[in-house]
Amino acid sequence: MVNMKLFMKVALLLVLLFGFTACNQTDENTETKSKQGAKINTASTYDQTPAKRAEKIVKKRDEVTEAVAFNTNKQMLLTFNVKQFDRFQLKRHEKEIKQQLQKEFPKKEINVTTDSKITQQIGEVKSKIKMGTMSSKKLDKEMMRLIKLMNEET
């Protein structure tokens, strides 16, 4: 009877020990693979520093409440929202901001809009860039699609 209880305790201890060590090894392997995958994807996207700088420049303007942008090597797309009273002069604000950004980034083609639908889609693109799931080819295609959509609506 005593031997049976001792045997059961030892067997239970061994099962738990093997169970915990097996789970621990799987977690480490999965964690290593996910880190390696993120490095590969992130390395192939464009540097978004110019877009962040453009957002800061535009947000400094008094009439602007929000600005969102992303860029490729040759192009930049920026959307912004203005205060309610300033909506009567949207075209003038778009023109001024576009000129200001063209002076700041002379090597890039600048596209500016106030369309809320495009603002939402740029936000989605930016989140994919941050997660590292957007390659440079996909980013180029998305840029062209959004510019085409922007030109259709105007």
Q: How many CA atoms lie within 13 A of 150 on its CB side?
A: 21
Identify the pLDDT of residue 151. 87
82 plus 68 within the same structural domain: yes
Question: Is the distance from CB of 67 to CB of 79 less than 8 angstroms?
Answer: yes
Identify the pLDDT of residue 7. 78
Q: How far is CA 130 from the centre of its chain?
A: 4
Look-up of token digits 């999965």:
30
Of 43, 59, 76, which one is at a domain's C-terminal end? 43
What does the buried/exposed string (b/e) look like for 20-55 if buried means 16 or more CB atoms within 10 Å of the residue's CB?
A: eeeeeeeeeeeeeeeeeeeeeeeeebbebebbeebb
Identify the pLDDT of residue 5. 80
What are the pLDDT digits (tens) for 20-40?
776 555 444 445 444 444 444
Q: What does the mean pLDDT of the chain come to?
A: 83
87 plus 142 within the same structural domain: yes
37 plus 71 within the same structural domain: no
144 plus 73 within the same structural domain: yes
77: nearest Cα among 88, 85, 69? 69
Token pair of 30, please?
Answer: 């999965």
pLDDT > 50? residue 14: yes
22 plus 53 within the same structural domain: no
What are the pLDDT digits (tens) for 60-102?
999 999 999 999 999 999 999 999 988 889 999 999 999 999 9
Q: By mean pLDDT, which of 13-17, 20-24, 40-44 is the weakest?
A: 40-44
The whole-model pTM stands at 0.67
55 plus 32 within the same structural domain: no
8 plus 60 within the same structural domain: no
What is the count of structural domains for the chain?
2
Look up residue 107 and give its DSSP letter.
T
What CATH number is associated with residue 123? 3.30.70
73 plus 26 within the same structural domain: no
Q: Domain span at residue 26?
A: 1-43
141 plus 113 within the same structural domain: yes
**DSSP per residue over 116-141, as a string?**
HHHHHHHHHHHHHHHHT---HHHHHH
Token pair of 14, please?
Answer: 């061994």
3 plus 34 within the same structural domain: yes
